[in-house]
Amino acid sequence: MRTLLRRLLHMMVVFAASGILSPVAVAAGFDLHNMWHNRCAECHGHSGAFARKFLSVSEGKLLGHHHVHDLRQFLTNHYAPDHEVDAIYRMLWAQASSPPRFEEECKCCHDLAANFVRNSLYFCDEGLCGRESQQPIHRFLARHRKLTSEDVEFFTRVLDRVANEVYRP
C-alpha cells in the first residue's frame, strides 16, 4: 500500500513538473515543509533551526520551553490544522533529536533538505532515488564526497525522513 501511495505521489510530482497538474495543487495537501514555510516560518523561522533551539526530546517525548506537558495540544491551539498535528509533531521531534548535518555539510551545494528532495529525489522501487542518476540514494551516497558508511547511513535516513514529510499521502 505504501509503495502504491509513493508511486501515485511520484506521478503527481511528474505531472506537476510537466505542467499537467499545478505544483501548488500537488504540494498544498502533502508537503509538511511547505506547510511550515507558509504558516509558521514568518514567526518561527526554519523548522529544523526552531526545533533544535526551542524544543527538546526527553523520555521519548517532544518538549517545548513554554508548553512542556502537552506540545500536541499547543500545536492544535497554535493554528496547526487538527489533521496535521501528529505529522508536525513527528517532524519537529525528528529535527530536535538529530544534528543539523545536512545544513552544515550539504546545504552549500544542495540548498535546504526539503528543496533538495523536491528537486532531486523521488521514490522508486528500491526506495529513494536520484532524478539524474536514477540510482538509489544510498548507492549514490556511497561514492559521494568520500562519505563513510556511517555517513551514508545517516544521510540516507535523513533524506528518507524528509522525503516522507514532503511526499505524504
Query: pLDDT tens digit string along 101-147?
Result: 999 999 999 999 999 999 999 999 999 999 999 999 999 999 999 99
Whether the predicted pLDDT of 29 surpasses 70: no
Structure-model confidence comparison of residues 74 and 143, the more confident one: 143
DSSP, residue by residue, 131-167: TTT-SBHHHHHTTSTT--HHHHHHHHHHHHHHHHHHS
The long-range contacts involving 42-49, CB below 8 angstroms and separated by at least 24 positions, are 46/112, 47/91, 47/92, 47/95, 48/95, 48/100, 48/103, 48/113, 49/100
Q: What is the mean pLDDT of residues 142-163?
A: 97
pTM of the model: 0.79
Whether the predicted pLDDT of 20 surpasses 60: no
Q: What is the mean pLDDT of residues 157-164?
A: 96
Structure-model confidence comparison of residues 69 and 11, the more confident one: 69
**In this predicted structure, which of 22-26, 70-74, 107-111, 147-151 has the lowest mean pLDDT?**
22-26
Whether the predicted pLDDT of 67 surpasses 80: no
- What is the pLDDT, as a whole number, of residue 50? 94
Name the percent of the chain lying above pLDDT 70. Answer: 80
Coil, strand, or helix at residue 151? helix
Whether the predicted pLDDT of 91 surpasses 50: yes
Q: What is the mean pLDDT of residues 87-97?
A: 95
- What is the pLDDT, as a whole number, of residue 17? 44
Whether the predicted pLDDT of 4 surpasses 60: no
Structure-model confidence comparison of residues 81 and 98, the more confident one: 98
Radius of gyration of the chain, Cα coordinates, nearest whole angstrom: 16
SS3 of the chain: helix, strand, coil, percent, to 5: 60, 10, 30
